[in-house]
Amino acid sequence: MGLSRYSDRAADILGDRSTEPSRPSGWTAPTATAHLDIRMSLPGSKSLTNRELVLAALADSPSLLQRPLRSRDTDLMADALRALGARIEEVPGDGQFGPDWLVTPGELLGSTTIEAGLAGTVMRFVPPVAALALGPVSIDGDEAARRRPMRTTVDSLRALGVDVADDGTGRLPFTIHGTGHVAGGEITIDASASSQFVSGLLLAAARFDSGLTLRHSGERLPSTPHIDMTIAALAARGVAVTQPEVGVWVVPAGAVSGRTVAIEPDLSNAAPFLAAALLAGGTVTIADWPTHTTQVGDLVPELLGRFGATVTRGEDGALTVDGGAGIRNEGTLPAVDLDLSEAGELAPTFVALAALADGPSSITGIGHLRGHETDRLAALVTDLTVLGARITELPDGLAIESVGGVAGLHGGTWQSFDDHRMATTGALLGLVVDGVEIDDIGTTAKTLPEFPELWSALAGSGPGTGSGATA
């Protein structure tokens, strides 16, 4: 399944249909015309939705996913699990962004082909499930997905006795020849490139004959909160993962329980919306911010505080960021030095803020972003340089020089590089820099198809009703 149906949706929102169905025409980011004063709801977490879909397909009884995210990544995951034998049906729910999902597990069968798109969770979570199926399962993805590191997945399955045919590439496409079961046992992997390699194995491990003892051998492990999220999701379904030492996880063999689970809003997707308050000034409120969560996006309020934002929590659970006057109105942002090794997916938003700071900044701990949807470090350097920023790559991050705030930047074409977080970062800068044109806003459909509509509502240049946003 390609990007076309999601790009078409973005084009519908924008009121401009491209002559090339898979790639909408450029989108000029709206600039803020006044202080922000907006309250928003956001769709569910992609990370939680896809973990719960996998566990529901492996469970011993049906599961109901309430307020799940509906996006390209989650639809790809649902389609992959359907191909392996799960029944996933839309049922009425109370969410603003679509129906709930009722998942009924079935016998896992192969002899199928799975399209991973550019979804890291699909390409790394589905192979261990496919190994439990009876018959061959071929997995492929977008052209950019074929450049993403997958050798750890291939090697780990082989270490578990699974036959994987990849022509020696360690990348997509490859075929898993499942026998209906995986022996399990103890294996060692290097997950330095992505914590998804660990989560993918943990999610399926309870269904292995002997469970799994998993050891990480690398010097570093990025985004460990995502592993915590996986462990918490397993615990809620009766699978108790233990960690006898750092970098070792033990999953006992046993049943995975069906359950009803309410998916939290995606807090990482909230990052550019909340950061907008620092640029345009005023306040942005996100409804239903969870009190306790394993989402890495829960670090957003703290990180915005480093840039001078004031953050408050309402009695109704909403979170509000007040950006004061905003840099658009001669406010300033302090320079920062951030280690985002635990929250690399948030880096593009905070690199954008640092590009407008009043002194030199550095953002490190993000070298692994070179292996994401695109090489995000190179992409950020390319796009920000086009707008006039001074930014250079470090071995493990980026160094950003001051250009004197908004006056030091100018408009230009912002390339998305098929990466949703690159597109949203361009929109953020376009809030205060005139003439930022994003070449493909449709890439935001990967995790937030409603982004163009929601962003226009935030900027004051689009409807504020019917989209989860009210001005």
E strands, 350-424, are 361-364, 390-394, 397-401, 412-414
H/E run at residue 231: helix 224-235
| Angle value at C-alpha 311, between 307 and 314, nearest 5 degrees | 170
Give the amino acid at 24.
P
Contact status, residue 306 vs residue 312, Cβ threshold 8 Å: no
As a whole number of angstroms, the distance between CA 350 and CA 274 comes to 11
List the beta bridge partners of residue 250: 213, 242
- Region of 217 (left: φ > 0; alpha: ψ -120 to 50; beta: rest) is alpha
450 is annotated as an active-site residue: no
Place of tokens 């071995």: 395
Nearest to 119 by CA among 150, 96, 85, 159: 150
- In this structure, what token pair is assigned to residue 372? 């994401």
How distant, in Å, are the alpha carbons of 49, 259, 260 from that of 236?
Answer: 14, 8, 10
Q: Which of 52, 115, 345, 450 is catalytic?
A: 345
CB atoms within 10 A of CB 341: 18
Spatial CA neighbour of 45 closest among 348, 341, 294: 294
State phi, psi for 48 to the nearest 5 degrees. Answer: -70, -45
Calpha distance 343→299 (Å, rounded)? 8
Residue type, 125: F
Helix 224-235, helix 196-205: angle, nearest 10: 10
Active site members: 345
